[in-house]
Structure 1
Amino acid sequence: MTTPYFALFDTVLGRCGVIWGGNGIVGFQLPERTEGGTRERVRKCFPDARERPAGAGERAVTDRVAALLAGAPDDLADVALDLTAVGDFDRRVYAVTRTIGPGHTLTYGEVAAAVGSPGAAQAVGQALGRNPIPILVPCHRVLAAHGAVGGFSAAGGAVTKRALLKAEHTPGFDDPTLF
């Protein structure tokens, strides 16, 4: 594998990180509490990655991600990802997950059925918990049965997952409440 690089960039949620190699995006980091925390998390997950300014291709991706998080619809499905370090089952789960457009959701069970493993909802949840490229592999769009939020391994957990779904105008997550 070529040396991975990373850059931090601003979004409405805070400083995010994008990690790339010669064959596409290999990682994405949602914001931690501080910019230093985000940088530390990137370095922990991608210890060989070197920080450098994003090139034009990476900036195009980060601009689109920032726009999505600000409410612009974009499925980001055309962004090249490098999933060579990911196991086969996880890759199949991520492929299905990438077909879920902004404002839409599937359940863990529906994803399991779509990858040919009905009854493997828990394994799907575990695969999504290992997702190295959240947002671009939109694991936040996969919910537990009956619309329950389920888990989310990024900083902030389910609160962050709800914020992402709200930013994408997902029904039930962007509705005004009385309280």
Structure 2
Amino acid sequence: MGQARHRYFIFETAAGFCGIAWNDSGVTRFHLPAQSAAATERGLLRRSADALPGEPPPMVVAAIAAARRYFRGESVDFSDVNLDLGEQDPLFTAIYAATRALRWGETTTYGAIAKSLGTGPETARDVGQAMAKNPVPLIIPCHRVLAAGGKVGGFSAPGGADSKIRMLALEGHDLAPPPPAQATFGF
């Protein structure tokens, strides 16, 4: 049996248990909060089956500390976190770079990212696929990418679109549906 290429660590935040996996080159996976450490570990290992538990090196300790601050509602910049996303389609690489440039509280749309890459509107679907396959959500902040018209759109992390709404609320965006205009009809 060969050595594992990845190590991982499960840690608690104000929003639940997160997981992070890494190799010598950088962070390879990030799992957004789940209600239990076991659920986070299962989710992380589904995509990093060869990973073994490990003590995080300093670069990963810094990313963990930043994630904890983020889920406490502090403005955090993850741009200094080294990533190793392996071989990616060149389009996905460009999409991830554009998404990673989004800062705390800033949002955009799938279509705007496609346009920023100099591609046609049909590429918005590719942007959506890249977001769904993002191996390091939060570090590449796919939660800041919205559907057309500023609608929430999908979110493949634990909790789905509700998690996306909560994360954006931490950053000052209120995307919750408005209260009904009329609570009762009076009959």
Shared fold (TM-score greater than 0.5)?
Answer: yes
What amino acid is aligned across from residue 39 of structure 1 in structure 2? E
Identity of aligned residues (%): 35
Task: Tell me which residue corresponds to 2:139.
Answer: 136
Larger Rg: 2
Task: Tell me which residue corresponds to 1:161.
Answer: 164
For the Cα contact (< 8 Å) 2:98–2:113, is it kept in 1?
A: yes
Task: Tell me which residue corresponds to 1:101.
Answer: 103
Structure 1: gaps of 5 or more residues: none
CA RMSD, 1 decimal? 1.9
For the Cα contact (< 8 Å) 2:4–2:52, is it kept in 1?
A: no
Q: 1: CA distance between counterparts of 2:12 and 2:29?
A: 16
CA shift, 1:2, in A, is 7.0
- Secondary structure of 1:97's counterpart equals helix
For the Cα contact (< 8 Å) 2:59–2:81, is it kept in 1?
A: no
- Secondary structure of 1:110's counterpart equals helix
More displaced, 27-36 or 139-148?
27-36
CA shift, 1:161, in A, is 0.3
Q: 2: CA distance between counterparts of 1:118 and 1:100?
A: 21
CA shift, 1:30, in A, is 1.0
What amino acid is aligned across from residue 146 of structure 2 in structure 1? L
What amino acid is aligned across from residue 33 of structure 1 in structure 2? Q
Task: Tell me which residue corresponds to 2:23.
Answer: 21
Q: 1: CA distance between counterparts of 2:144 and 2:93?
A: 16
Runs of 4+ in 1 over 4 A off after TM superposition: none
The total of aligned residue pairs comes to 176
Structure 2: gaps of 5 or more residues: 181-187
The alignment's TM-score, normalised by the length of structure 1, stands at 0.92
Q: Residue 2 and residue 92 in structure 1: after superposition, are their counterparts in 2 closer, same or farther (change >3 A)?
A: farther
Task: Tell me which residue corresponds to 1:110.
Answer: 112
More displaced, 58-67 or 80-89?
80-89
